[in-house]
Amino acid sequence: MEARYDEHARERVVPEPPKRVEAPERLAFERDRARVVHAASFRRLAAKTQVVGPQSDDFVRNRLTHSLEVAQIARDLSRALGTHPDITETAALAHDLGHPPFGHNGERALAALAADCGGFEGNAQTLRLLTRLEAKTTDAGLNLTRATLDACTKYPWGPEAAKDGKFGVYDDDRPAFDWVRRGAPAGRRCVEAQVMDLADDVAYSVHDVEDGIVAGKIDLTRLDEAGVWETLRSWYDPDATDDALDAVLARLRSVGSWPAASYDGRRAGLAALKNLTSDLIGRFCGAVQQATFAASQGPFVRYAADLVVPEETWAEITVLKAVAAHYVMQDATRVALQVRQRDLLAELVAALLRDEGTDLDEAFAEDWKQARDDAARTRVVIDQVASLTDASAVAWHRRLVVTGSENP
């Protein structure tokens, strides 16, 4: 399968001759996957918020478990399509590396704090990590292949072309981005990135609902359709009508494993819930596979074809997202907590800037010394804070802000 990808796709910024080792030589894309799995930023995902904070419950997903589930879905769909599974799996494993503490709430906070140095966006931060901040080679981050880095690029454009605030590269990472995108159609994602993105949508649409059910916040037998539809229009599709959404929900309820009774926490109930999540994932991926094959004979490699997501499938995914958003993400306790989290990050960034790099980790302290102006120094502080886990952000805040204010 790797033969479908030419030398251009397998190229690395820093050439790497084969290593002289006794173990079997790994293929290029296998090496990429291993590098992401062994990266420090990948390990930190275990202590970063997915929807509910990772310290709140042993069952709920964190960014690491979510990434592993996205990787499994991406690999299976990729194999079915004939796309290289190592590339799409690596992209899925890496897709959330750039997320800061406190999930999307932290992302919004850092975006505001980084307004004067080019903003903050989790996907752009992922590219920065893979090509600069993670240490495998001095000048190229993990030094991944072009095809793998391109698959990790969910939004192949900069902040000047941001869509709904989403973009994939900061201005000072343009050289790396331009190398990755050399020869690629402007603004178009490769099919491997499309598979990764769909796997992400499928995973969190289904699994966020599952987590909400187990947490006692969602009961699929007693949905407040009117409230969910208002959330859906507010968050995702302002033009969606009640009749159309009712029809989508009716299709979902026709899935054989859709619950007829409320979740009770027993093993039988958990098994039934797992059957539902499996059936929904299979339903969505099967529909996409069928539509994609119907639209093209492939090969499904790089820019030779595109993934096709039927409108009905996308509508079903969106309804599940809205259920989670309505019952979990808009919970009053969660909203109040998010305000405190944003304040914490703002105070932490201010303290690190005030102390002029003296409290930064060694790698970031070196970046601070090399920064040419205030904007560059702010970016270094943003990089440091984005690297923290939820718990370490709280600990740093306690040390630098709370304790520091008590001992001026």
CATH of the domain at 135: 1.10.3210.10
> Looking at residue 83, what DSSP letter applies?
S
The tokens of 393 are what?
């952000």
Q: How far is it, in rounded angstroms, from Cα 277 to Cα 93? A: 20
Q: Please tell me the predicted confidence (pLDDT) of residue 3.
A: 73
Of the given ranges (285-294, 296-305, 326-335), which has the lowest mean pLDDT?
Answer: 326-335
Q: Are residues 151 and 235 in the same domain?
A: no
N-term to C-term CA, the chain: 62
**Residue 185 falls inside a structural domain:** no
The tokens of 371 are what?
């920064």
Question: Helix-strand-coil percent breakdown of the chain, rounded to 5?
Answer: 65, 0, 35
pLDDT-derived band at 336 (thresholds 50, 70, 90) equals confident
- Nearest Cα neighbor of 172 from 388, 352, 382, 385 is 382
Q: Are residues 156 and 213 in the same domain?
A: no
- Other Cβ atoms less than 10 A from the Cβ of 62: the count is 21
Q: How far is it, in rounded angstroms, from Cα 192 to Cα 174? A: 21
Q: What phi and psi, each to the nearest 5 degrees, are found at residue 62? A: -110, -175
Into how many domains does the chain fold?
A: 3
**Residue 186 falls inside a structural domain:** no
Cα 265 to chain centroid, rounded = 29
pLDDT over threshold 50, residue 59? no
Average pLDDT over the chain, rounded to an integer = 92
Cis-peptide into 101, omega within 30 deg: no
> Of 333, 358, 385, which residue is a domain's last?
333
Range of the domain at 322: 191-333
pLDDT-derived band at 61 (thresholds 50, 70, 90) equals low
Residue pointed to by tokens 């990772």: 54
Number of residues that this document lists for the chain? 408
Q: Are residues 131 and 163 in the same domain?
A: yes
Would you say 117 and 375 are in contact if contact means Cβ atoms under 8 Å apart?
Answer: yes
> Of 142, 159, 180, which residue is a domain's last?
180
Q: Are residues 249 and 288 in the same domain?
A: yes
pLDDT over threshold 70, residue 1? no
